[in-house]
């Protein structure tokens, strides 16, 4: 195909539009991190936070030998709260 051909331009436009729509609709802010607190291989607590390192520090004070692990990637507040409720942490 020749550069400037209407078909190439149209395909390129729809590719850009697709990327834009994914970022606007699907790309909602995802500041929440889900986590679990493990002590001796057993989950003793779990929750959600927007500042993982700060929350990890607070839990380390309560459970000094604990391991705090992130669960998945960052998610929206709605998804985080649903997970927290399903897991019985709220």
The Cβ-side half-sphere exposure at 43, using a 13 Å CA radius, reads 11
Which pLDDT tens digit goes with each residue over 14-52? Answer: 555 555 544 444 567 899 999 999 999 999 999 999 999
Give percent of the chain with pLDDT exceeding 90.
Answer: 66
**Contacts by residues 86-90 (CB-CB < 8 Å, ≥ 24 positions apart):** 87/46, 89/45, 89/46, 89/47, 89/48, 90/47
Q: Delimit the domains of the chain by residue range.
A: 1-28, 32-87
Task: Check: pTM over 0.75? Answer yes or no.
Answer: no
Helix (H) or strand (E) holding 76: none
For residues 87 and 90, give the distance between their C-alpha atoms in angstroms, rounded to a whole number: 8
| Lookup: tokens for 66 | 């604990």
Average confidence score pLDDT of the chain? 82
């Amino acid at each position: 195909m020749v550069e400037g051909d209407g078909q190439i331009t149209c395909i390129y436009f729809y590719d850009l539009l697709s990327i834009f729509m994914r970022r606007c609709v699907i790309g909602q802010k995802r500041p929440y991190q889900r986590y679990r607190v493990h002590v001796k291989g057993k989950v003793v607590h779990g929750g959600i936070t927007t500042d993982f390192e700060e929350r990890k520090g607070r839990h380390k004070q309560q459970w000094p030998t604990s391991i705090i692990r992130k669960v998945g990637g960052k998610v929206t507040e709605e998804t985080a709260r649903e997970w927290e409720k399903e897991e019985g942490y709220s």
